[in-house]
């Protein structure tokens, strides 16, 4: 049986997929920090920062889709392997890759979120090797 933290993260993907902006905001801590480690080490703050990070991540793509495929719990952190597909906005060339998101949870909210390109870095960020 999945823990409350894993269930909260699973639910966040479902809320995001539905496009429920109010629901997403409810899941995020007011002082959320989003760290896009790759490719540019960008850092975003707050709920609006989350939406900026997502917009920038997807702006060069059409038909961006994602599917969470693995959840790894490490205390109050959950690392999630996500398979993403899209087409280049300019070229139309299909692309797909896996990315890891690390969620740090505090008092039932997402307090930190980081993006990683490989499992080892994600698990290290989550506090699990």
Predicted confidence (pLDDT) per residue in 81-117, tens digit: 999 999 999 999 999 999 999 999 999 999 999 999 9
Distances (CA, A) of 95 to 13, 70, 98, 110, 118: 21, 20, 11, 29, 17
Q: What is the pTM of this model?
A: 0.92
Which is more confidently placed, 71 or 39? 71
Is the pLDDT at 58 greater than 90? The verdict is: no
Please give the residue range of the domain that contains residue 109.
4-126
| CATH number of the domain bearing residue 11 | 3.10.450.50
User: How many structural domains are present in the chain?
Assistant: 1
């Amino acid at each position: 049986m999945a823990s409350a933290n894993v269930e909260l993260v699973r639910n966040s993907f479902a809320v995001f997929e539905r496009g429920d902006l109010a629901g997403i905001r409810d899941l995020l801590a007011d002082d959320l920090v989003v760290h896009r480690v790759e490719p540019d080490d960008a850092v975003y703050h707050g709920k609006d920062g989350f939406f900026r990070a997502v917009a920038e991540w997807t702006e060069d793509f059409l038909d961006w889709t994602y599917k969470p495929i693995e959840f790894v719990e490490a205390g109050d952190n959950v690392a999630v392997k996500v398979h993403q597909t899209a087409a280049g906005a300019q070229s139309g060339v299909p692309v797909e890759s896996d990315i890891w998101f690390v969620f740090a949870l505090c008092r039932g909210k997402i307090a930190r979120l980081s993006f990683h390109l490989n499992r080892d870095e994600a698990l290290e960020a989550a506090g699990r090797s």
